[in-house]
């Protein structure tokens, strides 16, 4: 029996369905007491429904676990603070925050509105900041804790019509890395997961050909949300005590450690550079290391869709 989270308390945002639901269920199976947060909005962020969070809590309790539901919006500081405080009030402590909540407002960049930009930033990036900030004081006081943030390959490599989502998800990487640096001495860890999983976000991608439909069916079969959850539980637990500031990706049964940004080639000129000398000397020296845009975008296009 997996008891890696025995005695610990975890908060999972956006846990009413998809990846968040499976993470909440598997955290509970590992012994954690779980606060299941989900405001119950549509994929684009409209509406509210207490049902999804309550349903996951019922699943956990029916299996012998302990959980409570929360429907606060983590897109506000006040909502995030109430969420974390509920964990402490309900279970006496807080050991892990999984920042999973998200919405989509896809639009080609030249057509994207300010409202579409702000809505996605508020849930993904601001939400991750608000919940992490609310928990940080408790983590620091008790000398330990774990943040698990959901990033995306849309941020790591880019994706069409997702400038808002990609910027927010790449911002989460920077947020996680800096949390890891700032709180490492207090025994606090912060890591990211870029999940490949068939949830309502992936299902919202338009399908226009038979080939895309077949590829989508294959993805649905191979890349279930449950495949992502074990890594999240591992990173939340003390088994990952020496893992900090990292970015992982999960694709079906495959776990990938992503590289951190670092120089790949350097060119020095003692007298400094001019526009012309960059064109004549620097660019030719680094050209072989440039990554074509098409290669960057398609690096994770498996199975194709």
Closest CA to 69 of 52, 85, 45: 52
Beta bridge partners of 145: 188
The residue annotated as part of the active site, out of 138, 165, 234, 248, is 165
Give the pLDDT of residue 304.
Answer: 33
Closest CA to 14 of 238, 199, 206: 199
Q: Count the residues in the chain.
A: 305
Give the pLDDT of residue 40.
Answer: 82
DSSP alpha helices (H): ranges in the chain?
A: 18-29, 51-62, 77-91, 114-121, 127-142, 153-156, 163-183, 200-203, 210-222, 229-236, 275-277, 283-286, 293-298
Give the pLDDT of residue 60.
Answer: 98
Residue 11 and residue 83 in contact, taking contact as beta carbons nearer than 8 Å: yes
Give the pLDDT of residue 56.
Answer: 98
The Cα 134–Cα 258 span in angstroms is 28
Residue 190 and residue 244 in contact, taking contact as beta carbons nearer than 8 Å: yes
* Antiparallel, parallel or unpaired: β 96-99 and 145-150: parallel
End-to-end CA distance of the chain: 38
The rounded mean pLDDT for the chain is: 90
SS3 262: coil
3-state secondary structure 160-183: CCEHHHHHHHHHHHHHHHHHHHHH
The Cα 59–Cα 118 span in angstroms is 34
The answer to whether 126 is a known catalytic residue is no
The Cα 198–Cα 19 span in angstroms is 9
Residue 171 and residue 149 in contact, taking contact as beta carbons nearer than 8 Å: no
The Cα 239–Cα 257 span in angstroms is 17
Residue 294, number of CB atoms within 10 A of its CB: 8
All residues at 6 or more sequence positions from 259 whose CB lies less than 8 Å from its CB, including other chains: none
Stretches in the chain below the pLDDT threshold 70 = 1, 41-50, 197-222, 295-305
* Antiparallel, parallel or unpaired: β 254-257 and 247-251: antiparallel
pTM: 0.89
């Amino acid at each position: 029996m997996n008891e890696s989270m025995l005695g610990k308390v975890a908060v999972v945002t956006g846990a009413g369905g998809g990846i968040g639901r499976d993470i909440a269920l598997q955290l509970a199976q590992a012994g954690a007491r779980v606060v299941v947060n989900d405001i119950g909005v549509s994929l684009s962020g409209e509406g509210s429904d207490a049902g999804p969070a309550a349903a996951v809590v019922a699943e956990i309790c029916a299996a012998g676990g302990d959980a409570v539901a929360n429907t606060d919006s983590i897109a506000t500081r006040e909502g995030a603070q109430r969420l974390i405080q509920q964990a402490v009030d309900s279970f006496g402590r807080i050991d892990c925050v999984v920042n999973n909540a998200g919405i989509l407002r896809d639009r080609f960049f030249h057509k994207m509105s300010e409202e579409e930009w702000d809505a996605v930033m508020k849930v993904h990036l601001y939400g991750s900041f608000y919940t992490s900030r609310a928990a940080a004081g408790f983590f620091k006081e008790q000398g330990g804790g774990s943040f698990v943030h959901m990033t995306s390959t849309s941020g790591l490599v880019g994706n069409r019509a997702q400038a808002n989502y990609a910027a927010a998800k790449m911002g989460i990487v920077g947020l996680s890395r800096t949390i890891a640096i700032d709180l490492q001495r207090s025994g606090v860890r912060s890591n990211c997961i870029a999940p490949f999983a068939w949830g309502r976000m992936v299902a919202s991608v338009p399908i226009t050909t038979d080939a895309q439909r077949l590829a989508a069916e294959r993805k649905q079969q191979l890349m279930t949300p449950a495949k992502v959850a074990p890594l999240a539980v591992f990173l939340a637990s003390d088994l990952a005590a020496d893992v900090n500031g990292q970015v992982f990706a999960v694709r079906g049964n495959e776990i990938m450690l992503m590289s951190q940004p670092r120089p790949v080639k350097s060119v020095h000129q003692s007298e400094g550079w001019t526009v012309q000398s960059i064109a004549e000397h620097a660019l030719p020296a680094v050209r072989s290391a440039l990554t074509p845009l098409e290669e960057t975008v398609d690096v994770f296009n498996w199975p194709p869709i």
